[in-house]
Amino acid sequence: MSTRGTTPNDTNFSKQWGLNNTGQTVNGTTGTPDADIDAPEAWDVTTGSSSVIVAVIDSGVDYNHPDLSANIWRHIGETAGNGIDDDGNGFTDDTRGWDFVDSDNDPMDVVGHGTHVAGIIGAVGNNSTGVTGVA
Ligand SMILES: [Ca+2]
Ligand SMILES: [Ca+2]
Ligand SMILES: [Ca+2]
Ligand SMILES: [Ca+2]
């Protein structure tokens, strides 16, 4: 049980069984109480830090998603759109990561899975919108 009651105000948080399962009904199915990762209890300790960078290797990410864009990593060592690999890491203009399928600098998600995974990790929490990420 969360002692400080750290729960976010995101509109769909109550549907996120994996984070906090109180036996609530989601889409007609009743959950199993406490079959979750005890996220509110963890958030009593910390809600994460913007200094922690998490890489998601998946189908890409919708970096413009309204519940993700504020938390999307930006490569400060790379100048966008100048056609130069400014930081010398082998990838030109990789300001948001790299698309290894198309070999370009636009990792926009084409199927949605990567965006879903990124949201589980880093959707903006407590912004009265959508879901909340673990961090
Ligand atoms: Ca729990
Ligand atoms: Ca680069
Ligand atoms: Ca560049
Ligand atoms: Ca949110």
Domain locations in the chain?
Answer: 47-135
Mean pLDDT of the region 32-58:
94
CA pair distance 66, 92, nearest whole angstrom: 26
Q: How far is CA 60 from CA 65, 97, 100, 125, in A?
A: 12, 9, 9, 21
Split at pLDDT 50, 70, 90, the class of 1 is low
Nearest bound ligand to the CA of residue 119: 4
**Per-residue pLDDT tens for 109-129?**
999 999 999 999 999 999 999
Residues 125, 134, 132, 104: what is their CA dihedral angle, to the nearest 10 degrees? 90
pLDDT at 134: 95
CA distance 127 to 51: 20
Predicted local confidence at residue 6, as pLDDT: 81
Token code pair at residue 34: 């406490």
- pTM value? 0.88
- pLDDT tens figures, 90-105: 999 999 999 999 999 9
- Cα–ligand 3 centroid distance for 22 (angstroms): 48
Question: Which bound ligand lies closest to the C-alpha atom of 98?
Answer: 2
- Give distance in angstroms: CA of 103 to centre of ligand 2: 13
Contact between residue 130 and residue 12 where contact means Cβ atoms under 8 Å apart: yes
In the prediction, which pLDDT does 13 show? 96
